[in-house]
Structure 1
Amino acid sequence: MSNKIKCSHILVAKQSEALTILEKIKSGEKFGNLAKEFSTDTGSGKKEGNLGYFTKGMMVKPFEEAAFKLQVGEISEPIKSEFGYHIIKRQG
């Protein structure tokens, strides 16, 4: 397993919002466009959800655990953290 991975995410306040966005992704809408439109993370949201590269210990635990389990190109189910609900896409 790599020590450094690259992910994008979409952050929303409610699980119901996250599930709706996940359905849009599954029906073919682009992750980056949905991140720009819906993510409450103003920093990464403007960059299509791109968080860049990070290592273990840099992100909140629930996010980190989910992100490091994903394969490249894989998208997570909604993950709850202290910030809200994340949909994570592993980039590399």
Structure 2
Amino acid sequence: MANKIKCSHILVQKQSEAIAILDKIRQGEKFGKLARELSVDSGSAKRDGNLGYFGRGKMVKEFETAAFNLEVGKISEPVKTQYGYHIIKRLS
């Protein structure tokens, strides 16, 4: 089990928005481009959604669980947290 992982995410307020973005990704649109254009997390959006490396206990539980359970290179279904709905891409 990895001690630290690297992920990108796209954060939106509505589940319907997250599902629509996931559909766009599945149709071939670039994750980073969509993060820059649509994510409400302005800090990470500027970096294609990149959150950098983080370990356990650094993110809210729902996000952390989903992120650590993803295989490298995979993209999650929408994950609901207190901040909204995240689409997470595990980078390492």
User: For residue 46 of structure 2, what is the aligned residue in structure 1?
Assistant: 46
**How many Å apart are 1:53 and its aligned residue?**
0.1
Uncovered stretches (5+) of structure 1, i.e. residues with no partner: none
User: For residue 72 of structure 1, what is the aligned residue in structure 2?
Assistant: 72
1:89 counterpart SS class: strand
2:20 counterpart SS class: helix
TM-score between both structures, scaled by the size of structure 2: 0.99
Taking only the aligned residue pairs, the percentage that are identical comes to 68
**Where does structure 1 differ by over 4 angstroms across 4 or more consecutive aligned residues?**
none
Code of the aligned partner of 2:65: E
**How many Å apart are 1:48 and its aligned residue?**
0.3
Uncovered stretches (5+) of structure 2, i.e. residues with no partner: none
TM-score between both structures, scaled by the size of structure 1: 0.99
2:59 counterpart SS class: coil
**How many Å apart are 1:28 and its aligned residue?**
0.3
**How many Å apart are 1:80 and its aligned residue?**
0.1
In 2, Cα distance between the equivalents of 1:66 and 1:29?
A: 22
**How many Å apart are 1:79 and its aligned residue?**
0.1
User: For residue 6 of structure 2, what is the aligned residue in structure 1?
Assistant: 6
In 2, Cα distance between the equivalents of 1:63 and 1:11?
A: 11
User: For residue 19 of structure 2, what is the aligned residue in structure 1?
Assistant: 19
- Let me know the Cα RMSD of the aligned residues: 0.3
Code of the aligned partner of 1:3: N
**How many Å apart are 1:58 and its aligned residue?**
0.1
2:23 counterpart SS class: helix
